[in-house]
Structure 1
Amino acid sequence: MSSRARALALCTALVLGLVVTAILAPLPYSVAYPGMTANVLGDDKGKPVITVTGAGTRRTSGQLRMTSIVATGPEASVHLPDIAKAWFRTDEAVMPREAVYPVGDSTEEIAEHNAEQMEHSQDTATAAALDQLGKSSKGIKVKLSLADVGGPSAGLMFALGIVDKLDGDGAGHDLTGGRTIAGTGTITAGGKVGAVGGVPLKTQAAHRDGASVFLVPRKECAEAQAELPKGMRLIPVTTLDGAVDALKALRAGGKLPSC
């Protein structure tokens, strides 16, 4: 074999080795999918998601569904073929692992962090809802119960559920207008709605579970529109007050904000 042929063979072997290594090497990404949704006006595992004591509550119709995503765990290995496949599917998304799991390196640490985030989200949702209604938290207690869900992204829907249970639209009607409405967004005690990530997958989860309207943090409008299921209507929101006003307008056939 000539020296040139040997050099070419060596180069080819090196390239093949690099390709195989790239294919087999784990990468710092997670693959995410549409997750579960839950009606915050209903029950979860036989218990009401929202329980209010110290104030009367209303019977409600329709649904307010919180949405979620699921993702490969922090200990799972994601390789180049997994990422390539996900890029060409609308029901999968590639996300940096630190964006999905910003705290902890183990399933246990992450579960603990997500549980803390969910508890904080419930507290701020309660504070925001009572403030929106002009009610004091001294005499009214709200318990939120939703198993197997963590993180802060259900805050907006929890707050809307509390408002609907206590007051509806303030004129004897449900906020939902009898519809199945889904959404996502963090909430502060002052009622500001924040972005959450994974919105295209959440709109698909909502569509799968019967929702026709999706409340989205305004900053994530473009992301939500990119993979929006057919027939799904987006309503951008920045505050709890704005979300309540939008649902009132939707029920009454009024003008709605749009992305």
Structure 2
Amino acid sequence: MPRRTTTMLASTLIFIALLCAGVLIPVPYAEMSPGPTVNTLGSARGEPVLRISGHKTYPTTGHLNMTTVRVTGADYKMNLVESVHGWLAHDNVVVPRDTLYPDGKTEEESTQENAEEFTQSQESAKVAALRELDIPVKSRVVVAAVFKDTPAHNRLHAGDVIRAVDGTPVRVPGDVAKLVTKNKPGDKVVFTIVPAADAAAAEKAGKEPTATEKVTITTAKSETGNRAIVGIEAGTDHTFPFTIDINLADVGGPSAGLMFALGIVDKITPGDMTGGKFVAGTGTIDDKGEVGPIGGIQMKLVGARKAGAEFFLTPAANCPTAAADTPKGLTLVKVETMADATKSMAKIKSGATESLPGCSSATG
């Protein structure tokens, strides 16, 4: 066999072997890519994303799109060829698998966590929207979770309203831990509560729950020190003056909070917030209306622009990354609070876009 033919054959076999190895060898990476966007003013799967009853609503136009990111599953084994392709693709990002699924978290655990964060983001979006419009929202401290094999297990329950600890009134969730840890492990702590069922019944009847019970719990020692604990997580529950339902399946995480809040404000106030413009965005939001950063900002920018967005509401902390690689034709608008977002929307509607707060690749 001629030397040239032998060399070509050997090179081909080596190439095939390397290709097979690249396909078969798993690597500890995962991939993120642009996900779908959903107009919070519109419908998803034939159902309105926002359904409001008990309060007058007004017609809306344009788009206030929330954005998403697709990620490979926890059980998916990416191979070397796929990871290289992902690194080279402009619209995708390859990241260490532990970034998406830390501490060996399963896909089921991650999905559950994302679902809980999504539910909480909806609650905070409602609160932020109504408070932006000076509509009162009643709040109360509740048992958000009870941990198994702790003193509070089967004594307190998720949804119980916490009125006081050892006779001291509780006003915010942080008060609970402060009051419990004033005790030593082994001490008894008295919780004054409204049971979850009674609280739910009162809320359904449009009343404030009044009847209370006292539950005495013996504290235990925390795993990380000599601190007294009972084994609960305190949170905040709200009573809204009218019904706001957010209907969106197969979405998780807290990053749609800002866009939900804006959609609610647009629907329950006269006039049109967007002026017919296509605005997309992202950002967590808390009860005070403060906008927080999110992950996968580059993917969300790409997805928004592909969907037709002209403007993108960007959390201030994400601005440097977003400004470093902004899709052509998309204007970034920096937001830190709900008030920032509504002011910027007024400028977009009026066409005064030259005064919009922009993003810089140097600072947020």
Tell me the TM-score normalized by structure 1. 0.85
- 1:162 is displaced (CA, Å) by 0.5
User: Pairwise mapping of residues 58-97 of structure 1 onto structure 2 (< 5 A)?
Assistant: 58-97=58-97
1:225 matched to which residue of 2? 323
Cα distance, 1:48 vs. partner?
1.0
Contact kept in structure 2, 1:103 and 1:109, CA below 8 Å: no
Gaps of 5+ in 1: 1-19
Residues 200, 226 of structure 1: 8 Å contact kept: no
Change (3 A) 1:103 1:188: farther
- Give the C-alpha shift of residue 105 in structure 1: 3.1
Q: 1:200 aligns with which of 290, 298, 313?
A: 298
Q: Report the equivalent of 1:13.
A: none
8 Å CA contact 1:193, 1:238 repeated in 2: yes
Matches within 5 A, 1:23-42: 24-42=24-42
Q: 2:305, 2:327 within 8 Å by CA — same for their partners in 1? A: yes
Aligned-partner Cα distance in 1 for 2:113–2:248: 16
Partner of 1:136: 136
Distance 1:44 1:22 in 2: 40
Q: Percent identity?
A: 42
SS in 2 for 1:211: coil
Q: Deviations over 1:203-231 (max 9, x none)?
A: 11111111111111111112112332111
Aligned residues: 239
Is contact 1:90–1:227 with CA below 8 Å preserved after alignment?
A: no
Structure showing greater radius of gyration is 2
| CA distance in 1: counterparts of 2:271 and 2:99, whole angstroms | 39
- Asked if the contact 1:104/1:110 (under 8 Å) is kept, the reply is no
Aligned: 1:146 with 2:146:
no
Aligned AA (2:289): G
* Aligned CA-pair RMSD: 2.2
Deviation at 1:66, TM superposition (A): 0.4
Partner of 2:261: 159
Distance change in 2, residues 1:103/1:189 (3 Å): farther
1:253 to 351, 356, 360: 351
Opposite residue 54 of structure 1, the aligned amino acid is G
Instruction: Say yes or no: does 1:191 pair with 2:289.
Output: yes
The residue that corresponds to 1:3 in the other structure is none
TM-score (norm 2): 0.62
Equivalent residues in 2 for 1:163-174, closer than 5 Å: 163-167=265-269, 172-174=270-272
Taking the aligned partners of 1:104 and 1:215, their CA distance within structure 2 comes to 33
The structure richer in strand per residue is 2
Checking the alignment, whether the CA contact within 8 Å between 2:98 and 2:104 is kept in structure 1 is no
Separation of aligned partners in 2, 1:114 and 1:38: 18
Structure with more of its chain in helix, by fraction: 1
Letter in 2 for 1:158: F
> CA deviation digits over 1:117-167, x for unaligned, max 9?
110010000011111111123422211011111111101100110111112
C-alpha distance in structure 2 between counterparts of 1:64 and 1:176, whole Å? 8
CA distance in structure 2 between the partners assigned to 1:68 and 1:204 by the alignment: 10
2:36 match: secondary structure: strand
Whole-angstrom distance in 2 between the partners of 1:97 and 1:184: 23
Q: Name the CA distance, whole Å, in 2 between partners of 1:102 and 1:236.
A: 30
Q: Distance in 2 between matches of 1:156 and 1:129?
A: 9
Deviation at residue 25 of structure 1 after TM alignment: 4.2
Q: What CA distance in whole angstroms lies between the structure 1 residues aligned with 2:134 and 2:351?
A: 26
CA distance in 2, matches of 1:103, 1:191: 31
Following the alignment from structure 2 to structure 1, what is the Cα–Cα distance between the partners of residues 267 and 131? Answer: 15
1:211 paired to 2:313: no
